[in-house]
């Protein structure tokens, strides 16, 4: 009951910042830029969530940087942590960690990077701006998803995704790119997601067609 009350007041505080979090979600130590919503059943821990990004039901993110204007469908999950597969004989954590795992402790430790991180090690995963992630996608730790990318429903993302790529499958592979190489370069130069909302509203009609968007000096 106390946890529910704490979540309620946390949700009320975030609402004042134009951030809407379901009382049925667990949000811990995360920073929201504004105009966000997190639907029910989500776990969002130690994350940075950019302007306009929304996260649908039952998503799971920990130590993740999520850019602006991202669309995250239900049941998207970050999978962090791995096990040694070779040349190790045993893959159970009790064989390489000096702590009890399920009551087992062999007091043995080996050099194994269980958690893959990006950059200075702050994040397990970095998701760019204007990224669309389909339902039931799994994203492995240590992966960086580029701006404008599309992750197909049910994809298992094990490697970095280039900007504006559409990936799908298990493991996920590049199916195609949203635009040609020149257009992608120009969009990456413009970085429209860094503009303020007034600028976006003023130029909203140009967003209907990338040719119109790039044809004018905005």
Q: How do residues 175-210 score in pLDDT, each as one tens digit? A: 999 999 999 999 999 999 999 999 999 999 999 999
Whether the predicted pLDDT of 1 surpasses 60: no
CA Rg value for the chain: 20
Residue (of 61, 29, 20) closest to 43 by Cα position: 61
Whether the predicted pLDDT of 137 surpasses 50: yes
pLDDT band at 218 (very low <50, low <70, confident <90, very high): low
Whether the predicted pLDDT of 148 surpasses 80: yes
Question: Is residue 146 within 8 Å of 165, Cβ to Cβ?
Answer: yes
Nearest-angstrom CA–CA distance, 76 and 92: 26
Q: What is the mean pLDDT of residues 6-12?
A: 48
For 13, other C-beta atoms within 10 Å of its C-beta total 11
For residue 15, the model assigns a pLDDT of 58
Q: What is the mean pLDDT of residues 22-50?
A: 96
CATH: 3.40.50.11540, 2.160.10.10, 1.20.140.10, 3.40.50.170. Which one for 13-80+117-178? 2.160.10.10
Whether the predicted pLDDT of 23 surpasses 50: yes
47-81 exposure pattern, b = at least 16 Cβ within 10 A, e = fewer: bbbbbbbbbbbbbbbbbbbbbbbbebbbbbebbbe
Domain edges within the chain: 13-80+117-178, 82-114, 180-218
pLDDT band at 103 (very low <50, low <70, confident <90, very high): confident
pLDDT band at 122 (very low <50, low <70, confident <90, very high): confident
pLDDT band at 132 (very low <50, low <70, confident <90, very high): very high
Average pLDDT, the chain: 90
């Amino acid at each position: 009951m106390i946890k529910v009350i704490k979540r309620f007041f946390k949700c009320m505080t975030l609402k004042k910042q134009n951030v809407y979090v379901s009382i049925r979600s667990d949000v811990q130590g995360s920073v929201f830029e504004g105009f966000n919503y997190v639907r029910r059943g989500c776990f969002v821990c130690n994350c940075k969530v950019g302007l306009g990004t929304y996260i649908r039901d039952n998503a799971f993110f920990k130590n993740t940087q999520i850019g602006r204007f991202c669309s995250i469908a239900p049941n998207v999950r970050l999978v962090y942590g791995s096990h040694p597969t070779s040349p190790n004989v045993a893959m159970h954590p009790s064989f390489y960690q000096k702590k009890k795992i399920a009551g087992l402790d062999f007091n043995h430790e080996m050099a194994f990077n269980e958690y893959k991180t990006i950059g200075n090690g702050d994040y397990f995963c970095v998701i760019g701006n204007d990224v669309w992630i389909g339902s039931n996608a799994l994203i492995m730790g240590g992966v960086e998803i580029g701006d404008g990318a599309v992750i197909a429903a049910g994809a298992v993302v094990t490697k970095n995704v280039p900007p504006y790529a559409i990936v799908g499958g298990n493991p996920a592979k590049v199916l195609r790119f949203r635009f040609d190489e020149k257009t992608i370069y120009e969009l990456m130069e413009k970085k429209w997601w860094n503009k303020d909302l007034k600028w976006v509203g003023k130029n909203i009609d140009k967003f209907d067609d990338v040719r119109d968007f790039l044809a004018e000096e905005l």
